Structure 1
Amino acid sequence: MLAVLLGALESEVMRVCWRVGNPVTVRQVLEELNSDRVQPLAYTTVMTEMSRLAEKGMLNRTPQGRGYAYTPTAPDEAALAVREVLRAHGDAAVAHFAAEAALDPGLRDRLRRLLEESP
């Protein structure tokens, strides 16, 4: 689902940010991403991706030392997807989610929590 909203590397970066915890630095994300790669990524590549994610509103960026610390703006992939669908489709998306939620109380509760967490 995340790959639909973001590029492949952006998706990997977001998953690492959620897994590692808050806040996370470029160095931490780089080490996680390179831990199982044959061809390691460069620091500047990850830094650029994280800067772009901050510009897109997927990560918050705060100064830390000579660099930045990043925090995801959504608690997980599902919350991020819901937020982006709502941004793109507004009322039509809400109507669709409401119709689906009427059929499944668990989904309704999850959607309510996601909407409350969205900025």
Structure 2
Amino acid sequence: MARLPGPRSGAVAEEDTGYARTRTELDREALASAFVDNVFLAAECLEALNADDPRTPADVFEAVRDRVPRWERTKRENWPAFWTDRVERRLDWAVLLGLATETDDGYLRA
């Protein structure tokens, strides 16, 4: 199982009984790094972006479509719509973490 780097880099810490919320200052760069390293398709979604040509979630989904596992494709009738939404969520997180920007036309790599 992947773990977030260090006890002060996130909003939760692993303890003997599970996870607990921390009251430490969040490190945006560490969170961004953990997001890219640990969230499925996050890195691939960012790689599908560039700094000059905005991409829609549908554009990014088409770029990462082949990486969606077969079992994910078979468990939903309309898996492309489901995963386009998942891609958009990853892009929104990327914006919050300073890895991308959102424009009226789509998303750009920061």
TM-score by length of 1: 0.46
The structure, 1 or 2, with the larger RCO (C-alpha pairs under 8 Å, 6+ apart) is: 2
> Going by fraction, where is helix more abundant, 1 or 2?
1
